[in-house]
Structure 1
Amino acid sequence: MSSTPDPDCLFCRIVAGDIPAEIVAETEHTVAFRDIFPQADVHVLVVPRVHEPDIGSLAAADPEVTVALLAEARRIAEVEVGGQYRLVFNTGSAAGQTVFHAHAHVLGGEIHVPLPG
């Protein structure tokens, strides 16, 4: 099982309801909310309820939650943008990660900043 919530983590505090966010969906394992600095017409973050610093750590610690996160990202993309989307995971500060709690960026519609590949 993955680690317990980190009281200093922004996303742990959103999951706990301590910081407001525009919640899109909640499941047993995940919370999804709109990014406050959207990079596309649709930009939703899907985060696990458990705290792991990045997607690789989450996959190693809790494969079941990792699968749940991916499934929820796909479901949200179906609802929000008809299933055509980018799914982005940043791992490490050199890769652009700014909040060290595993999360998926579901991006759909017009992308507002250039993304590789």
Structure 2
Amino acid sequence: MNQEKSIFSKIIDREIPADIIHEDEKCIVIHDINPRARIHLLVIPKKPIPTLFDLGPEDKDIMAHMMLLLPQLATAQGLDGFRTQINTGESGGQEVFHIHIHLLGN
């Protein structure tokens, strides 16, 4: 199946620019281009998993890695509290079908 790459895959592959604030072997973190809070980051796995419904047991390390990264990112941004959001599926508000975690803080 030949699917078109998501905008996040294009960012990971450096095909389009983004404000990258963190990158490691498992994920990339960018500033959201349409922020809903003073700090609005997107934590994106490098593996293109469309939705939470598509997660498999082999993805637990990626998801755990991203969850453990969230407090480090918040602290680096000067936040002492934050909220997270993962939209899943079209009816769940997901616009880009490549799992990502929103980190929001004021």
Q: So what's the TM-score if we normalise by structure 1?
A: 0.81
Task: Point out the more displaced range, 58-67 or 95-104.
Answer: 58-67
- Counterparts of 1:31 and 1:66 in 2: how far apart (Å)? 13
Matched, 1:97 2:90: no
Question: Within 5 Å, which residues of 2 pair with 1:52-91?
Answer: 52-58=49-55, 60-91=57-88
Deviation at residue 58 of structure 1 after TM alignment: 3.3
Point out where structure 2 has 5 or more consecutive residues left out of the alignment.
Answer: none
Matched, 1:16 2:31: no
Residues 33-70 of structure 1: CA deviation (Å, up to 9, x unaligned): 00000000000000000010123433544100111111
Which residue, out of 101, 106, 112, partners 2:103?
A: 106
Identity %: 32
Q: So what's the TM-score if we normalise by structure 2?
A: 0.89
Deviation at residue 13 of structure 1 after TM alignment: 0.7
* 2:43 aligned residue: 46
Point out where structure 1 has 5 or more consecutive residues left out of the alignment.
Answer: 1-5, 110-117
Secondary structure of the 1:62 match is helix
Equivalent residue pairs, number: 104
With over 3 angstroms needed to count, the CA separation of the structure-2 counterparts of 1:81 and 1:95, relative to structure 1, is: farther
Secondary structure of the 1:53 match is coil
Structure 1: 4+ residue segments shifted above 6 A: none
